Amino acid sequence: MDTRILHAEQAYDIEIAGGILRAGGLVAIPTETVYGLAGNALDPAVSARIYRVKGRPSDNPLIVHISAMEELLPLVESVPEAAKKLAAAFWPGPLTIIMKKSNLVPKETTGGLETVAVRMPSHPAARAIIRAAGVPLAAPSANLSGLPSPSAFEHVCDDLMGRVEAIVDGGDCAVGVESTVITVVGAVPRVLRPGGVSVEQLRAVLGEVEVDPAVLEKPAENARVASPGMKYKHYAPKAEITIVDASLEVYARFVNAHPESVALCFHGEEDLLRVRAVPFGRAEDALSQAHDLFAALHTLDAIGAKTVYARMPRKNGVGLAVYNRLIRAAAFRVLVPEDVWVVGLTGQTGAGKSTVSARLAARGCAVIDCDQVTRDPALYSGDCLKALQKAFGRDIMKPDGTLDRRLLANRAFADADSTQTLNRITHPVILDRLRAAIAECAAAGARVIVLDAPTLFEAGAERLCRRIVSVLADRAVRRARILQRDGITPQEAERRMGAQQTDDFYAERSDYVLDNTVGVTDAEIDEMLAAFGCVKQGDGF
């Protein structure tokens, strides 16, 4: 079959795509998540052909795409209250809502189920094509079954050229992973597949939201899975991928010891690696990881990668969607090179990091106080001391040969450039000392080692951590705490707080956020440690 290439920005091409779809043909279309293999959702023969073209098992239902709210009503028995709230908050956008279907939707489209999955994409061309077709469009991801979903036009061509009537070129997809799928059919809304709308965002709108166990874990053989798509082999490139659950430094050591492997790492980490690196997104930005992931999987195939070691995405926010896809691409293989848990603990001044740190110590964790490490004058010696004197003046050494920390601080914190100079000189020695402290704790048998560091990120110490926890609190509470604790003026308190990073800065860079506005209970601490997997709930260690 000849496949026509159409262009998303051309109105005439949109009409052609609409005509093909109206006539019962198949067109691959761009959406904001991934490309979809679209056909008339109300025609059983068309749905049957979609399954054939994709090579997809016919019990795995298709998503029905609409362009406006009034197109929803004919497809469903009724619109539950929760669906109304979700549609108002997230449509058009990367969210698919499962509801009870009406008789209009053929069972061929829903894989034999009595429910239908509906989504209103935000991509303007996708909506224009649905409008031009005049019918709702069934559109699974436009890849052959089992292969990574296509987030770029070229990937669609690789899989579908010659198998469909047309492919619409819309460039790269903004989100890059498929939509979040949520069912509102049961008593409590339940996420069946994480995606561009995060579980946290859904909870903010609906309150209670469950996450199906199949999102994180391999469904047991023959288990009944709520979302049939979850049970199939998915997103698999030809390479054998293994996720490495470790700090960046431990990851780099492990990968460098396997010179024949390829590193699926984050941008900016390549410098530490002596093997070929395929980066996807930035460590602190799950959206960028989602955007790059499938293209990176395609690249692995293109370069003929055989053994791939991947960095571990965070399981919160959109990171959960990235983890969900990657763990499937890795056939659930996770490797732990070092069985210690280095947990970075950070947060804003006055948020109460020290109380959390004391709690963790009481729970049996080894705690390294990074402030104490950096305050130790013995740390700054030799070349480091020479460099400090060169940058900040010989007189920063007191006559007794020790460092005049106050004078150094005055000069180094006078302006941003000086601060940067100080950091460039001192951070490497601080990191070395922290590495040594971690090794000491590990040698003494500690399983969970907490790096209590107000400037964890600024010092680059997050590269030593397998997990990161931020302690945050409301601004007014933090202000009151530092006023009382440090005996400073309200102006000074404001100045210090103004120099702090925002809540979002910490949240994006953390695996876990503890809100210490009213306090953190031991139960919350245990829950966190259990969520990391470093200790079972109620387990004294």
E strands present in 314-372: 334-335, 341-347, 366-369
Work out how close the CB of 467 gets to ligand TXA at its nearest, in angstroms, rounded to a whole number: 29
Residue number, 117 or 430, with CB nearest to ligand TXA: 117
Q: Which is nearer to ligand TXA, 111 or 454 (CB)?
A: 111
DSSP string, 208-269: --EE-GGGTSPPPTT---SSGGGGS--S--SSEEEEE-S-HHHHHHHHHT-TTSEEE--TT-
Binds 300: which of Mg ion, ligand TXA, none (CB < 5-8 Å by kind)? none
36 binds, among ligand TXA, Mg ion, none (CB under 5 to 8 A by kind): ligand TXA
Question: Hey, what long-range contacts does 373-382 have (CB within 8 A, 24 or more apart)?
Answer: 373/430, 373/433, 373/434, 373/437, 374/426, 374/430, 375/405, 376/433, 377/402, 377/403, 377/405, 379/429, 379/430, 379/433, 380/426, 380/429
| CA 336/CA 235 separation, integer angstroms | 23
| Residue 279 binding result from ligand TXA, Mg ion, none, given CB thresholds of 5 to 8 Å by partner type | none
Q: Closest separation between CB of residue 192 and ligand TXA, Å?
A: 5
Question: H or E stretch including 100?
Answer: strand 95-100
Rank residues 19 and 228 by Cβ distance to ligand TXA and give the closer one.
Answer: 228
Q: Which residues contact 385 (CB under 8 A, 6 or more apart)?
A: 397, 403
User: Smallest distance from the beta carbon of 29 to ligand TXA, in angstroms?
Assistant: 8
Least Å from the CB of residue 141 to Mg ion = 3
The angle subtended at Cα 105 by Cα 104 and Cα 107, nearest 5°, is 130
3-class DSSP state of 309: strand
Residues engaged in binding Mg ion (CB under 5 A): 141
**Which of residues 181 and 244 has its CB atom nearest to ligand TXA in the complex?**
181
179 makes contact, choosing from Mg ion, ligand TXA, none, with CB < 5 to 8 Å by partner type, with ligand TXA
The least distance separating ligand TXA from the CB of residue 318, rounded to whole angstroms, comes to 13
| 151 binding partner (options Mg ion, ligand TXA, none; Cβ < 5 to 8 Å by kind) | none
Cβ(42)–Cβ(104) under 8 Å?
A: yes
Return the residue nearest ligand TXA (CB atom).
229
Closer by beta carbon to ligand TXA, 147 or else 434: 147
Binder of residue 33, out of Mg ion, ligand TXA, none (CB less than 5 to 8 A by kind): ligand TXA
Q: Contact at 8 Å (CB) between 27 and 164?
A: yes
Q: Which of the 8 DSSP states describes residue 8?
A: T
Smallest distance from ligand TXA to CB 175, Å: 8
Q: Which residues bind ligand TXA (CB under 6 A)?
A: 31, 33-34, 36, 60-63, 96, 98, 110, 113, 115-117, 119, 139-141, 178-179, 181, 192-193, 227-229
27 binds, among ligand TXA, Mg ion, none (CB under 5 to 8 A by kind): none
Q: Which is nearer to ligand TXA, 156 or 438 (CB)?
A: 156
Distance in angstroms (rounded) separating the CA atoms of residues 180 and 431? 40
Closest CA to 120 of 86, 91, 99, 79: 91
Helix (H, G, I), strand (E, B) or coil at 279: coil
Which residue lies nearer to ligand TXA by CB, 119 or 127? 119
Task: State in angstroms the smallest separation of the CB of 90 from ligand TXA.
Answer: 12
- 115 binding partner (options Mg ion, ligand TXA, none; Cβ < 5 to 8 Å by kind): ligand TXA
Measure the CA–CA gap between 489 and 486, rounded to whole angstroms: 9
